[in-house]
Structures are given as C-alpha cells and as structure tokens.
Amino acid sequence: MASVRYDQATRIYPGTDVPAVDALGLEIADGEFLVLVGPSGSGKTTALRMLAGLEDVDAGSISIGDRDVTDLPPKRRDVAMVFQNYALYPYLTVAANIAFPLRIARVPKEERERRTQEVAELLGLEQYLERKPGQLSGGQRQRVAMGRAIIRQPSVFLMDEPLSNLDAKLRVQMRAEIAALQSRLGTTTVYVTHDQSEAMTLGHRVAVLADGRLQQCDTPRELYAHPANVFVAGFIGSPAMNLCHVRATNGSVQLGGVSFETPAGAQGEIVVGLRPESLELAGDGIPAEVEVVEEIGADSYVFAAAEVGKLVARVDTRLAPERGARISLRPRPGEAHLFDPATGVRLPQPAL
Amino acid sequence: MTTAAATAPLVRRRAPAPVRRKRFLIAVANHSILIAIALAFIAPFLFILLTSLMTTNQALSADLWPHPFRLQNFADVFSKAPLARWTFNTMMYSCLATIGVVLSSVPVAYALARLRWRGRDVAFMVVLIALMLPPQVTVVPLYVMWAKLHLVGTLWPLIVPNWLGDAFSIFLLRQFFLTIPEEYLDAARVDGCGELRILFTVVTRLAKPAIAAVALFSFLYTFNDFFLPLLYVGENSHNWVLSLGLAQFRSQHQVQWNLTMAATVLVMAPVIILFFVAQRAFVEGITLTGVKG
C-alpha cells in the first residue's frame, strides 16, 4: 500500500517537441481509486506508463510512497499492470499466467500454487485454471489479467483501459467487479480510460487530461457540478453540456428570457454552459427546431438547432416533440455555468 | 411487428438446377487443373522411385514398371559407397549449422526489432544488403581466410559462419518479432523480467513458429547445399557430405541408373519426411511474418 505523487512529471517523446505529458502534478492517496480520463492523445496512457516505468520521465519526478521511483526500472517499482489486450501468454495455462510474476520472482512452488488458488477463488476462476487463454471468453480473460496483477500484492495497481475490449453489457458488469475488488483489497489504483461514464462510476477522484495537461482533478460529483473549464464541461457528462456564446450586458447575460448574473467586470461575450437537464420545454424561451430525438427509455434527448447553436435538452419521453417541430427551450435559473471565452476558465459564480 | 413466424417446418431451399450445374462444372474445372499440376510435380519423383526398384537392364529399357522389384538396390548402395559416412558428415553440417543459425539470429533479430539503439536502422540495412549478396561473391576472400587458418578440407568453414548469424534468418525473425504486440513485453517488464529474460522466456515462446521455420529453412538449405561443400571439402573425400557423394556416385555408376536412383531416394527421403512432419510450422512461419494474426 502506498500513495503516489507526480511532481511536475513531463514526457517528451524522442523526435517531437510537444510534451505528451506536460508538468503533471497529481497526488494520489493510499488506497485511493484514481481515474485518468481524456480523449485520444491526451497523454493519459503515457502518464500511466511513466508511473509503471515503461516511459522515461524527461522532467520532474514520480514517487510511490516515500520512494522516488523516477529512474527505477519497472520491476523495482512494486506495481502491477493490467493491459487493454490483457497480454496473457497464449502458450501458458490460466494458472501459469496468474503465477507468472511469482515465477519470475522465484517464489517457491508451494506458495505459488497456494496464492494462485486464492486468487482464482477470489475471481471465480477455479474451474478454468488448466485452460489456455484462447479457450476463455473476453470477460474471463479480463479476470485472469486482473489475477496476474493481484497475485503480486503490489503497492499500486495500474490499469490501462482494461474494459475497452469487452462488449457493453459485460463492461458494466466488470466495472462493478473491479470497483468491488478494489475496495476489498484497498490497493491504490490508477485507472486509465477514455470513457467518461467509466471514469465517473469508478473513480474516487477523476483527473481529466487534455493535450498532456491536467485540466481538473476532483470527485466525480464536483467535476460534474463545477467543471473548472470549458474542456472539462464539455468532456464530462453525456450528452455533452450545451455551450453558447452570449454577449454580456450590465452584469448579466440573457438567454431565452432568463438572466444570469455575471461576475463584476465581465464584458463582451462569455460562454454559458447548460446541461441537457437544465433546459426544459416551455411556452417561451430559446426558439429552436428539432433535428433528432433520441429515445433512451424514460427520458429523451432532443437535439435542436437554435440561433445560439445546436442545443440538446433532456425531456420526458411522453412529452418529446416530433422531428422538425418548433419548440422553445427555457434554461433553469441558477443552473448555468459561465466561462471566459478566451481562456475557457470557469468564471466565479456570484452567490444567488 | 415481426415476431417468430408460424411453426411451419423449415424447408431448406435448394439452389436452382442451372446454378447447381454451373457450380459443378466450375468445381470440375478447378480440380482438373490442380490434379494436372500435382501430377506434373509428382511424376519425376515416381519415375525416380520406380527406377530405383528395377534391375540395371530394366532401367536401361523403355519399361516404366519394375519387374521384378529389386529392393537389393538399396543395400547395394550402402555396400558400394560410404553412405553412412556421408550421412554423418551431412548431419554434422546441417544440425550444427541450424543450431548456430537459431542461437545467433534470434538475439540479433530481437535487437533489430525491439530494442531502441542508435544505428539500429543502419545495422538493419547492412543485414538486408548481406541478404542480397549471393555467396559466390564473398567466397574468394572467405576461401583465402579459411586456407590461412588451415581449415580447408574440414567441415568447419561450412559450420562456423552459421554461428555468426544468417541474414535471411535475421530478416525473417525480425519481421515476426515486429508483429508481437508490445503489451506482452511491457507486461513481462512490469512483472519483473529483464530484457534477456523477456527474450528467452517470452519472445522465443511467442515466436515458436517463426523460429521453427528458420530452423527448417536452414536445415534444408545446408542439407541440399552443394556449392560450399564442394569448395571446402571437395578435396577430402573423408569429409564428403551426401550431396557431394551423390554426385560422385552418379558419375561412377553412370550406366547403373537403378543404383543411382536408389541412392537419390535415400538422400531425398529424410527431407521429404521432415517436410511432411513440419509442414504446418513451415507454412505458419512464413504466413505469420507477413500477415498479423
């Protein structure tokens, strides 16, 4: 068990000038489940590989517990990693795959077998121990990969998109299993995903990365309620937040007949962010024409074109308008997020 | 809405007669071509095999079928030529060379495929260039070198170079190593393996088909090799290999075609058997290097 600390850690791939990870500063507490999330190319996997020791750290440092591991090879960092494609050795049985790290560490055979058995029981893999990975389903392979990480009882688990090769239903199921397993073992875990819903459901805290920079690191609820900038606002939440450029006048912006107070001194355009659930159908508001209606059960998402841009609103399916209908969407007072259009940074919200 | 249709039993529809006739004719045409080609390839082998079972007079006649069968030919070959000696020399050459090629080429190929180091691409180009040079080009300086070492006439000039890597094998293995997903190696690194450990416990196991193919190629090449043995041990009949011996046997027993063919069958047999046994590894090794999967 250990905490993890990235201190201005930077990675610049040879032959490029742009850092893949730029001065990342992040503290992960002992036993915490931290999710690194971001779009492709945001540097999240690179950040994880730096912690694993698979990538060099070009500036800054990384420590695990009170040990500086910046220049240690992977095997001396006491971390275990689960890979996207599982990286199970096809020529070894499930039991041999799980026990592989112990064999490398020259753990005596009896102990190896005992611990393999324990891990197999923990993951429900007892009856598959003699099979080869090729004979397992995707979910079972995923579990074997987890087993290979667990058996070492490392200080930190690293998981690189471990669920992205599973189908949607299995992914949700394995997500719950991983969360349960992590809270049971209490091992510090760093988990990389591009899927914001996976990040929100799994992480104690979620770190959002874009272009190699940390955008915000907070609890899922805080990220959703108070996104620190336009990027986080647009990335977290599905469908994405509506972002409209609106001109501010006299300390407030007007949108669909509702006025939102702006911080003192804000002039010109500002970005108003509204979640789909912060827009409701009403008699008056922002006039818009319905383009697509996505029914997802109890709720429907209405995608509509308005003068301020495309908008999406969550409405009760029973009240969902037809495609092509002209509707009015009214923002709920007090639910807008305001951002600086130039920097994208969140503007302090005046008290209501 | 569509729900499961009525409970009527499923009647499997047959393709209409003209379609079936056309498919049948196409199948006949395809198979005829394949059979014709197969016959063209197998005919010389059958001819050799049949001749090897004839008496000397039959072999000189126009008959195609041996009457009577003379199995004694094979025993005669052994008594008329030191076949065991040649076989032993060939095995020395082929086996030691094959072991050498595998042991020396695998680490080089891994370094060229997977390790990052300055000058790697240049080194790979040098290997490619070496691959394109026919052995006849380098043979004169090499011969002089071996002569100065007083090793001409022994099998060493044939075996030793194979322990220093073989361009074709290195190329083949490198291409295969490139297809091994990096995740396997990363996983091994995190689990505590050093690079040598990764090479010997992980990569060699994953690359088994490619290594088998390289070993087979090397074995077959050295087994059939005539040029280099002729050059280095041609003067010393004690160290003759099968290919040399067979050529010499042919010139000594020119009119005894049955014996010549019997000797040929004996020399060919191990290669053919080996090929049948290892056919899958052989084909796999080649296809896997090209297509990932």
Mean pLDDT over B114-130 rounds to 88
What residues make up the domain containing A110? 4-233
B235 reaches A (C-beta below 8 A)? no
CB atoms within 10 A of CB A71: 11
Q: Do residues B248 and B240 touch, judged by C-beta distance below 8 A? A: yes
For residue A57, give how far its alpha carbon lies from the nearest alpha carbon of chain B (Å): 16
A52 reaches B (C-beta below 8 A)? yes
Task: Please state, rounded to an integer, the average pLDDT across all residues of chain A.
Answer: 91
Q: How confident is the model at residue B285 (pLDDT cuts 50, 70, 90)?
A: low
- Are B206 and A91 in contact (CB < 8 Å)? yes
Residue B101, judged by CB atoms within 10 A of its CB (0-12, 13-18, 19+), counts as buried
B186 reaches A (C-beta below 8 A)? yes
Note the pLDDT tens digit of each residue in A94-137.
Answer: 999 999 999 999 999 999 999 999 999 999 999 999 999 988 98
Answer yes or no: do A229 and A263 share one domain: no
pLDDT of A134 reads 87
Rounded CA separation B154/B232 (Å): 7
Q: How confident is the model at residue B284 (pLDDT cuts 50, 70, 90)?
A: low
pLDDT of B31 reads 95
Nearest to B190 among A79, A85, A105 (CB): A79
What CATH number should be reported for the domain holding residue A124? 3.40.50.300
Q: How confident is the model at residue B292 (pLDDT cuts 50, 70, 90)?
A: very low
Mean pLDDT over A173-187 rounds to 92
Note the pLDDT tens digit of each residue in B148-182.
Answer: 999 888 899 989 989 988 888 999 999 989 988 88
Per CATH, the homologous superfamily of domain B74-290 is MetI-like (1.10.3720.10)
Is the preceding omega at residue A239 within 30 degrees of 0, hence cis? Answer: yes
Answer yes or no: do A86 and A211 share one domain: yes
Q: Is pLDDT above 60 for B291?
A: no
Note the pLDDT tens digit of each residue in A309-327.
Answer: 899 999 999 988 999 999 9
Q: Is pLDDT above 80 for A85?
A: yes
Long-range contacts of B229-238 (CB under 8 A, 24+ apart): B229/B93, B229/B158, B231/B139, B231/B143, B232/B143, B232/B146, B232/B152, B232/B153, B232/B154, B232/B155, B232/B157, B232/B158, B233/B89, B233/B153, B233/B154, B233/B155, B233/B158, B235/B152, B235/B153, B236/B153, B236/B154, B238/B85
Q: Is residue A351 part of a domain?
A: no
Answer yes or no: do A118 and A211 share one domain: yes
CB atoms within 10 A of CB A197: 16
pLDDT of B70 reads 81
- Are B194 and A104 in contact (CB < 8 Å)? no
- Are A91 and B187 in contact (CB < 8 Å)? no
Counting residues of chain A whose pLDDT is more than 70, the rounded percentage is 98
Mean pLDDT over B225-246 rounds to 88
Mean pLDDT over A182-204 rounds to 93
List the domain boundaries for chain B. Answer: 74-290
- Are B186 and A83 in contact (CB < 8 Å)? yes
- Are B183 and A84 in contact (CB < 8 Å)? yes
Q: How confident is the model at residue B3 (pLDDT cuts 50, 70, 90)?
A: low
pLDDT, greater one: A70 or A262: A70
Task: Please state, rounded to an integer, the average pLDDT across all residues of chain B.
Answer: 85
Answer yes or no: do A273 and A335 share one domain: yes
Total domain count, chain A: 2
Rounded CA separation B40/B173 (Å): 34
A233, A267, A296 — which closes off a domain? Answer: A233
Q: Measured between beta carbons, which residues in chain B are less than 8 angstroms from residue A91?
A: 205-206, 208
Q: How confident is the model at residue B290 (pLDDT cuts 50, 70, 90)?
A: very low
Q: Is pLDDT above 80 for A226?
A: yes
CA-nearest residue to A101 within chain B is B191
Q: Is residue A104 part of a domain?
A: yes
Nearest to A101 among B183, B192, B202 (CB): B192
Answer yes or no: do A186 and A330 share one domain: no
Task: Kindly give the pairing relationship between strand A299-306 and strand A33-37.
Answer: unpaired
CA-nearest residue to B187 within chain A is A87
